[in-house]
Structure 1
Amino acid sequence: MDLLQSLDAYRHEASWAVWKTDDAGDVVGDPEFPLEAATEAAHGRAMIVALNPGGIPSAEHPVTPDWSNFHSPNSRHNDIFLAHAFVGTPFWGAYMTDLHPQLVEPNSTLVRPEQEEALRSVQSLIAQARLLQSVGTIICLGGKSLRSISAYADLIERETGIRSIVGVPHYSRSNANVHKHDAERYRRLVHEALGLVTEEVESGPESSGKTRSTK
């Protein structure tokens, strides 16, 4: 059984850090989910976790395809920034989800779950980590995701053995004061936060020597 089958129960709220690329390994086209490529690239070594969904299906796309979180063709979601950030890194193929998938709200300051609900969300995250089996790092998209997950770091480590919880800047347009609407700048910021050093701009899913870990 492949990982997509193992996590199938979460297909409506989660995804994998794989986007469409050309033969050279460069990100191309709209950030729609490439099922075949993801099935081959998916791994359980890391989880990339945002706080909550920021939008709902539009009138043009009323049905949300499986595994389409973080892969919206609507440019206002800025999902393509994630593709550029993770292509050519060890985190290409990692599992992606929201901590609070049930709380749809574009303004993260309004996402204020009660303690019991927050605990249930963390317990669900733990359940997903167990299905992945080999998670070594949780990458949090944005400061609020990092704070929310770090608050349960002891529980997460006790239940899963995961000790590494790190944060990277959020990719949304509302964080433009940080990434300046520049995908390459966002890539550099993410790599700095993760301890990755990009020696060349050009890289792909199977990049060799262009991206290395300083850890």
Structure 2
Amino acid sequence: MIRILLVDDHPVVREGLRGMLGSEPDLEVVGEASSGPQAEALSARLRPDIVLMDLRMPGGSGVESISRMRSAGLPCRVIVLTTYEADSDILRAVAAGAAGYLLKDLARDELAGAIRAAARGETVLAPSVATRLVDRLRDRPERPHLSERETAVLRLVAEGHTNAEIGRRLYIGESTVKTHLLRIFGKLEVDDRTAAVTRAMRWELL
């Protein structure tokens, strides 16, 4: 039996998902959450196999929760289930450790199949999402080089940590973190943290 946690701030969506999955003999919805922090708490307590996570909710984004759940060592695999398919959303979710990225217009059989595939350890992507990822990789320019420390800093940025948190984790000062970020921005030719993570994913630097 594959145990599932539903995470969406709209009760109607959660009810619809529960109804879609209820007729599948090998799938069991064990809980529901309406926010990222609630999902993190329930995942730690219920230990589901799969978490279906909306991307944008009150209390923080789904990506932030995925990062924290991964850092906490929770064994569940998280599938993003959303209406958004912007490149930045997709790349941030994948960088945070999502096992899949699906859109809410998929059919019941497709959703059930994706959940089973994710539970087997596979990555599941909506066709349009897979196409976007391939296009991003195909169109990327010459790959820049980041130092080992710059890579470590950017990886922590991708996980949602602040400069102060990064400094504590790497045992460096916050001003040094800012210096590394400025160098990273220059090498990647970007102006902010999100763009840096997005471009680093394009070049497979993380």
TM-score (norm 2): 0.36
- Between 1 and 2, higher relative CO (CA 8 Å, sep ≥ 6) is seen in 1
